Structure 1
Amino acid sequence: MDAPQSKSRDLDKLLLRSGNLVGPGFFPGTDLRDDIREYVKVLVVGAGGLGCELLKDLALSGFRNLDVIDMDRIEVTNLNRQFLFRLEDVGKPKAEVAAKRVMERVSGVEIVPHFSRIEDKELEFYNDFNIIALGLDSIEARRYINGVACGFLEYDEDDTPRSETIKPMVDGGTEGFKGHARVIVPGVTPCFECTIWLFPPQVKFPLCTLAETPRNAAHCIEYAHLIKWHEVHGGKSFDPDEPEHMKWVYDEAIKRAELFGIPGVTYSLTQGVVKNIIPAIASTNAIISAACALETLKIVSGCSKTLANYLTYNGGEGLHTKVTEFERDKECLVCGPGILIELDTSITLQKFIEMLEEHPKLLLSKASVKHGKDSLYMQAPPVLEEMHRPNLSKPLYDLMGRVEKDTVHVFGTSLKNEEKQSSLTKLRVVFKEVDGVADMDTAIWRTNSKRKTPF
């Protein structure tokens, strides 16, 4: 009788033997396999269609220490493609149910779920992981995580990335029969911001069309969402994750559609239009997730050269897969060395935050400021804002420990290109004396990223 096959048979073929395509730091053996299981920590961002597949694939690829973060609850419309969820799970947090289901099926894996917004986590939370895998359907969420990972990156005196500060990411995305997988190594490969032009602008409808001449179901839904809601509810904010709010928009859209004789308004379509939900197919999620899980394994083990650096998949008509190598933007404000700023030592934190709104490359409003592990000021939640409020009147120089130069991270709402986007940016601050004169308006802002600096 043949001996039973090892559960790690296929994994062992990659990790226990060498080959012509391995990375320069690859040392095959059982120690490598065991170290991945014991020490490597991976964060999966998103527990939807792609996130469910990622959790399963990573667990089956030998990763034992996983975390997953997602702010959404399970809805009936998720069940056709998010295979970890059942009908009885509707209304429960996606992250918690997904973690539970994978741990039930894969022995030895430990998955810690986080039912929260990604912005609500401290930056140090993300620094605790060796690699971050993204299964998101939001451009803004990707930009935020990209900013967080790039924020840990440090450069030496020659503007060369310090390898110990690099936080790799693997990003996947799907839309119908199309998908992509990419490897982001901050400071080495292009980050998300370097190639933001790859994503087409989101569809927007003129308000005059919505208010006067709607022509399809989406127009009726956006009328209820953007116009009717504010007419009826005044200053009350619309919450797309609140079922009662979504149901109200759906009901109003139905009335609007009936008035103009427009068919096609459904609750599912209402969710898709309001939340900008991208259609997903289970098979595409599985293919892209497999590519992302393999790249994650290659990064942490060196068992093969990583993707260079963007894979596209199109299964709409036949099967087409292509790899494209994009170049990094050396002047990128996110993954580059950072914007160089010279300030008088008397500049207060309040004045510094106001200046961020005027800086031509930032235009950052409602900014929060962090120095190292210390939060100097947080805009939200209110309890943290109140706690940090006394810092606003203090000189930034004192708050940073009276060092001549150092890096700070600022997070806020960027108004560049007339679009509000969450933005996390790194600034290299240099303090200088101005003949002892404490003139608040003598700060000098310099953005020549090609100039060598003593950082």
Structure 2
Amino acid sequence: MAATAQPEGATHALNGEHGGESRAKWKYMDTLLSRDRTFTDDNAFEPGEIPINNITNARVLVIGAGGLGCEILKNLALSGIRNIDVIDMDTIDVSNLNRQFLFRESDVGRPKAEVAAEFVMKRCPGCKVTPYVGKIQDKDDDYYMQFTIVVCGLDSIEARRWINATLVGMVDMSNADSLKPLIDGGTEGFKGQSRVIFPTMTSCIECQLDMHAPRAAVPLCTLATIPRQPEHCIEWAHIIKWEEERKDDVLDTDDPEHITWLYRKALSRAEEFNIPGVTYSRTQGVVKNIIPAIASTNAIVAASCCNEAFKIITASAPYLGFPVDGTNNYMLYTGDSGVYTYTFEHQKKDDCPVCGNLPKDMSLDPDSTLQELVESLAERPESQLKKPNLRTEAKSLYYSTPASLEVSTRPNLKRKLAELLSDGEVIAVSDPAFQIDFQYIARFPGVKQ
């Protein structure tokens, strides 16, 4: 095959100095970016200095430094990304070492973000990784505005929804730089997914909640009154009793003493209601939201996420979620029976509470109680709320938090919806974990308007 001619300036990038450092170790990446691409948009990709500069100057935020995050950090650094930030609030546990390969036994007890940053910078000289040990909620819009792309390797739906709502809220139509692409990866056992979101332009995480199985979590009112499962007792100890009896202590889910305390409280609660099945391991699993993880699945999904990030930054190939109608933006992977991937378009929803502007109809039984409605919100694919607060324009229906409002609105839980709502009335539902209000229109089938 004849050699492809290099654009003017590319030779300098390949053999000389670029940005003050030798380009020798980026030879193959530079070659890739210095040639015409078969499937690229001619108006978006100009081979040579421009894509090379873009990849060199990009700043990428990685949220999560666990099994998926370690793979993502490694891939980004080896793909030529020089400026990476990583956020994670967890510390390293012995159980992490079988798949989170940036950590060693001597690192147990140290923050994941710090150790991961040190390891990557040691192995990839010239790559700067800035760690932050804490929650994503600790940072404001100005912090997130610094980045070219945000890549998530999270195991928490709540955290995904928070960063999604934040990035959507940051978009200013008069400032193109305010739109930060969000690449999200997730795994569970032999299955996983990656997706690309352009806030306000394509389907967002809130639009896509129907792709997640409802959480096992239940509303606070159920935990506080009549638990039915061992998980209810554990969540009661976790959410209610810890706050009542140890609110001055920060719960450390890696501390055996803390888990033992929760286990004993949950076991006592279970015995009171004759509920079997509360064990130490189950307590640990519920509190830490432990899901099965396989290193090979993490590697495949992380590779997909980083591949999309590289393509977006350089425009060197079509990418998931290109913000036009009919473009695939979601990749599903399953490896439990062979290796299979499937991409499709998850469409933007007009009634999405984050990126849409229309309230959603909710079909209700007028003879059901408010408590039944509150409990259903934890299982609805579009909400999955654990501590919902419900109100209408005229009155407060029920508040899970704070405790004073919970007590004052608790009597409403036993009342029928027909006593509290009228057909067509708008209900605003919020949760302390999210930055958004869900808008629902109460619909009583068969009731004349």
Q: Does residue 196 of structure 2 align to residue 177 of structure 1?
A: no
Alignment pair present for 1:121 and 2:139: yes
Aligned partner of 2:166 among 128, 141, 148: 148
Quick one: distance in 2 between partners of 1:318 and 1:270?
Answer: 34
Paired residues of 1:123 and 1:148 also in contact (CA < 8 A): yes
> Is 1:236 aligned to residue 256 of structure 2?
no
- Any idea what SS the aligned residue of 1:290 has? helix
Q: Which of 335, 338, 341 is matched with 1:315 structurally?
A: 335
Question: What code does the residue aligned with 1:265 have?
Answer: T
Summarize deviations over 1:51-74 as a string: whole Å, max 9, x none.
Answer: 111111000010000000111111
**CA offsets, 1:145-182, max 9 Å, x none?**
011111121236xxxxx633311111000001100000
Offset of residue 202 of structure 1:
0.7
Are 1:12 and 2:30 an aligned pair?
yes
Q: Please say if residues 47 and 95 of structure 1, whose CA atoms lie closer than 8 Å, have aligned partners that are also in contact.
A: yes
Matched, 1:201 2:214: yes
- How far apart are the structure 2 equivalents of 1:332 and 1:115? 32
Q: Does 1:223 align with 2:233?
A: yes
Which of 92, 103, 110 does residue 92 from structure 1 map onto? Answer: 110
2:279 is the counterpart of 1:265: yes
| 1:211 and 1:223 in contact (8 A); partners too | no
- Which of 285, 300, 305 is residue 298 of structure 2 equivalent to? 285
Residues 53, 285 of structure 1: 8 Å contact kept: yes
Indicate conservation of the 8 Å contact 2:141/2:170, yes or no.
no
- CA distance in 2 between counterparts of 1:89 and 1:359 reads 53
Residue 304 of structure 1 deviates from its aligned partner by 0.5
1-structure distance, mates of 2:225, 2:99:
32
TM (normalized to structure 2)? 0.67
Question: Shift of residue 245 of structure 1?
Answer: 1.9
The secondary structure found in structure 2 opposite 1:88 is helix
Cα distance change on mapping 1:245 and 1:27 into 2, 3 Å: same
Q: Corresponding residue for 1:33? A: 52
Whole-angstrom distance in 2 between the partners of 1:113 and 1:228: 29
Q: Shift in Å at residue 21 of structure 1?
A: 1.2
Provide the rounded CA distance (Å) in 1 between the counterparts of 2:269 and 2:205.
39
Q: 1:424 aligns with which of 428, 431, 435?
A: 435
Seen in structure 2, the aligned counterparts of structure 1 residues 331 and 117 have a Cα distance that, compared at 3 Å, is same
The equivalent position to 1:67 in structure 2, one of 67, 85, 109, is: 85
Cα shift at 1:416: 5.7
The residue aligned with 1:332 is 352
Aligned positions of 1:331-370 closer than 5 A: 331-336=351-356, 358=392
Aligned residues of 1:225 and 1:249 also touching (Cα < 8 A): no
Letter in 2 for 1:141: A
Alignment partner, residue 76 of structure 2 = 58
Could you list the per-position Cα deviations for residues 193-216 of structure 1 after superposition, in whole angstroms to 9, with x for gaps in the alignment? 1222221211247969997876xx
| Native 8 Å contact 2:55 2:80 kept in 1 | yes
Question: Is the Cα contact below 8 Å between 1:155 and 1:337 reproduced in 2?
Answer: no
Alignment counterpart, residue 178 of structure 2, candidates 165, 182, 186:
165
- The yes-or-no answer on 1:302 pairing with 2:310 is no
Match of 1:193, SS state, is: coil
Q: Which residue of 2 aligns with 1:434?
A: none
Instruction: Please give the alpha-carbon distance, in whole angstroms, between the structure 2 residues aligned to 1:246 and 1:78.
Output: 18
Q: In structure 1, the residue corresponding to 2:25 is in which secondary structure?
A: coil
Residue of structure 2 in register with 1:410 after alignment: none
Give the TM-score, by structure 1 length: 0.67
Amino acid paired to 1:423? F
Counterpart secondary structure, 1:423: coil
CA apart distance, 1:334: 2.2
Change over 3 Å in CA distance of 1:256–1:86 after alignment to 2: farther
Matched AA of 2:195: R
Comparing 77-86 and 103-112, the one that deviates more = 77-86
Report what 1:249 is aligned to. 262
State whether residues 44 and 51 of structure 1, in contact with CA within 8 Å, keep that contact through their aligned partners in structure 2. yes
CA distance in 2, matches of 1:17, 1:129: 27
The Cα of 1:333 is off from its aligned counterpart by 3.7
Contact 1:229 1:249 (8 Å CA) reproduced: no
Q: Does 1:44 pair with 2:62?
A: yes
Structure 2 unaligned regions, length at least 5: 1-14, 16-22, 321-327, 360-389, 403-426, 442-449
Contact 1:44 1:135 in 2 (8 A): yes
Q: In structure 2, do the counterparts of structure 1 residues 364 and 280 end up closer, same or farther at CA, with 3 Å as the change threshold? A: farther
SS state of the match for residue 183, structure 1? strand
**Structure 1 residues without counterparts, runs of 5 or longer:** 157-161, 340-355, 368-378, 380-414, 427-444, 448-455
Structural RMSD (CA): 4.1
**Structure 1 residues 292 and 127, CA gap change in structure 2 (3 angstroms):** same
Provide the C-alpha distance between the structure 2 equivalents of 1:257 and 1:189, rounded to a whole number of angstroms: 45
Counterpart-to-counterpart distance in 2, 1:8 and 1:232: 52
> Amino acid of the residue matched to residue 279 of structure 2?
V
**Aligned mates of 1:96, 1:60 — CA distance in 2:** 19
Give the partner amino acid of 2:44.
G
| Counterpart position of 2:201 | 188
Report if the CA contact (8 A) 1:168-1:184 is conserved.
yes
> Measured at CA, do residues 314 and 227 of structure 1 come closer, stay the same or move farther in structure 2, by a change above 3 Å?
same
Once the 2 structures are TM-superposed, how far is the Cα of residue 296 of structure 1 from its aligned partner? Answer: 0.4
- The equivalences for 1:97-112 within 5 A come to 97-112=115-130
- Work out the CA distance in 1 between the residues paired with 2:435 and 2:275: 46
Paired AA for residue 129 in structure 1:
F
One-letter code of the match for 2:116?
A
How far 1:6 sits from its partner (Å)? Answer: 5.0
Provide the rounded CA distance (Å) in 2 between the counterparts of 1:154 and 1:11: 33
